[in-house]
Amino acid sequence: MPHKNLNEVNDLLKKWEKAYKKGLLSFWLLLLLHEKPAYPYGLAEAIRELSQGTVSTDEQSIYRALNRFRSMGLVKSELMKSPIGPQRRYYCLTEKGTELLREFTRLNILVFEAPSVQERVQSVLQKEAASFQLEVIDDVSQT
């Protein structure tokens, strides 16, 4: 019975993460562009590394997002010399993009640092560890 439930949970988790991570791509892109102007080619790998492997994307998605951001006035682009080959288009945040990132972070990211939220998260993780220990004990006692 627990294995069927685990499969259902994994399926639900994949669906939830898909929607969640799709929304986070904008955050990761703006966060990286806040640090320095970037060429889209390297952003996919930078997002994967910064998100500790939890978010992966392709270059087409990055280009679409950057074009959307440019049309909203969040980023601007400039052709710059490349160490190899032709000039490349580098993107950076505008003042509006920086302000949006700041407000989004303040309203949606920093909330996880609140002690009441951290306590609840730790409680969930502690219950998970305790549940896992009980499952192991149960499995051992059945053998």
What was the pLDDT predicted at 68? 95
Prediction pTM value: 0.74
Q: Which CATH architecture has domain 2-142?
A: Orthogonal Bundle (1.10)
User: Under a CB-based contact definition with an 8 Å cutoff, are residues 127 and 108 in contact?
Assistant: no
Sorted by where each begins, the domain ranges of the chain are 2-142
CA distance 54 to 7: 20
CA distance 34 to 43: 13
CA distance 41 to 69: 17
CA distance 45 to 60: 13
- Sorted by sequence, the CB contacts under 8 Å of residue 27 that are 6+ apart come out as 101, 104, 109
In this structure, what token pair is assigned to residue 91? 């993107």
Residue-wise pLDDT tens digits, 96-128 = 999 999 999 999 889 989 999 999 988 888 876
What was the pLDDT predicted at 128? 65
DSSP string over 22-89:
HHHHHHHHHHHHHHS-B-HHHHHHHHHHHTTTS----HHHHHHHHHHHHHHTSEEEEEE--SSSS-EE
| 140 against 23, higher pLDDT | 23
How much is the average pLDDT of 37-63? 90
CA distance 121 to 68: 34
What was the pLDDT predicted at 23? 77
